[in-house]
């Protein structure tokens, strides 16, 4: 229901009517390699399906920031994550450096995203990927999901090119077909091979 309401307000930005399934989120997050993570940021947290899995798989002492631009979804996320040690931020991924600075952080170990990349303009994709790379620790990773039906769109192809421009290593994962829409994970590293489990 929250996604329907958020979509009625802003369909392009919300880009979905349903959350990522737990099985898909577990496969995606499980491939990141979070065992020694200290600081993780999730962009486009929505109502928290990936957030919950991140929190479960992260070490207890690791900080998790979950950024969501829709006020409806941020409110639901805050309720869902109450007491779980998630810093829920109602804000935009484009404010990432400021959001980190406000919390005394200049870099993070992992950025995880389910943002609707192909709905962004070329300049927005380029700027945001550059910002993400800049806030990552040199040994950090950026992981994102992309809807399978968008791979071959102009914007999807551009996103693939920009990922390879901004990151030394880009490791596409297997498409998770049971999710609607099916989603492909990408795990990227600014300097070298991203860790594998």
Ligand X SMILES: C[S@@+](CC[C@H](N)C(=O)[O-])C[C@H]1O[C@@H](n2cnc3c(N)ncnc32)[C@H](O)[C@@H]1O
Verify binding: residue 70, ligand X, rule CB under 6 A.
yes
Instruction: With contacts defined by CB under 6 A, name the span among 31-39, 109-117, 129-137, 156-164 that binds ligand X.
Output: 109-117
Verify binding: residue 194, ligand X, rule CB under 6 A.
no
Verify binding: residue 92, ligand X, rule CB under 6 A.
yes
The CA R_g of the chain, rounded to the nearest whole Å, is: 15
Burial class from Cβ neighbours inside 10 Å (0-12, 13-18, 19+) for residue 12 reads exposed
Instruction: With contacts defined by CB under 6 A, name the span among 14-22, 98-106, 172-180, 185-193 that binds ligand X.
Output: 14-22
Question: Helices in 68-121 by DSSP H: which ranges?
Answer: 71-80, 96-102
Structure tokens at 98: 């400021």
| Smallest distance from ligand X to CB 17, Å | 10
| Smallest distance from ligand X to CB 191, Å | 26
Verify binding: residue 16, ligand X, rule CB under 6 A.
yes
**Residues whose CB is less than 8 angstroms from the CB of residue 50 and which lie 6 or more positions away in sequence, other chains included:** 20, 25, 28, 29, 42, 112, 114
| Smallest distance from ligand X to CB 67, Å | 5
Kind plus residue range of the DSSP H or E element containing 40: strand 39-43
Verify binding: residue 49, ligand X, rule CB under 6 A.
yes
Verify binding: residue 2, ligand X, rule CB under 6 A.
no
Positive/negative CA dihedral, 115, 118, 121, 123: positive
x/- mask, ligand X, residues 20-39, rule CB under 6 A, reads x-------------------
Structure tokens at 127: 């700027």
* Nearer to ligand X among residue 188 and residue 191 (C-beta): 188
Torsional class of 75: left (φ above 0), alpha (ψ -120 to 50), beta (otherwise) = alpha
Q: Which residues bind ligand X (CB under 6 A)?
A: 6, 13-16, 19-20, 43-46, 49-50, 67-70, 73, 92-94, 114-116
């Amino acid at each position: 229901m929250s996604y329907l309401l958020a979509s009625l307000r802003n369909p392009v930005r919300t880009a979905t009517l349903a959350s990522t399934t737990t099985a898909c989120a577990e496969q995606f997050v499980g491939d990141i390699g979070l065992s020694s993570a200290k600081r993780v940021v999730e962009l486009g947290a929505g109502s928290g399906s990936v957030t919950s899995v991140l929190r479960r798989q992260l070490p207890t002492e690791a900080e998790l920031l979950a950024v969501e631009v829709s006020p409806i979804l941020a409110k639901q996320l805050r309720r869902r994550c109450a007491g779980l040690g998630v810093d829920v931020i109602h804000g935009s991924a484009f404010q990432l450096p400021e959001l980190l600075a406000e919390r005394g952080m200049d870099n993070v170990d992992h950025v995880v995203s389910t943002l609707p990349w192909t709905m962004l303009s070329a300049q927005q994709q380029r700027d945001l990927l550059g910002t993400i790379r800049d806030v990552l620790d040199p040994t950090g990773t950026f992981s994102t999901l992309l809807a399978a039906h968008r791979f071959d769109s102009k914007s999807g192809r551009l996103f693939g090119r920009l990922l390879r421009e901004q990151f030394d290593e880009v490791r596409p994962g297997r498409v998770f077909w049971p999710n609607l829409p099916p989603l492909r994970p990408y795990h990227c590293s600014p300097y070298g091979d991203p860790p594998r489990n």
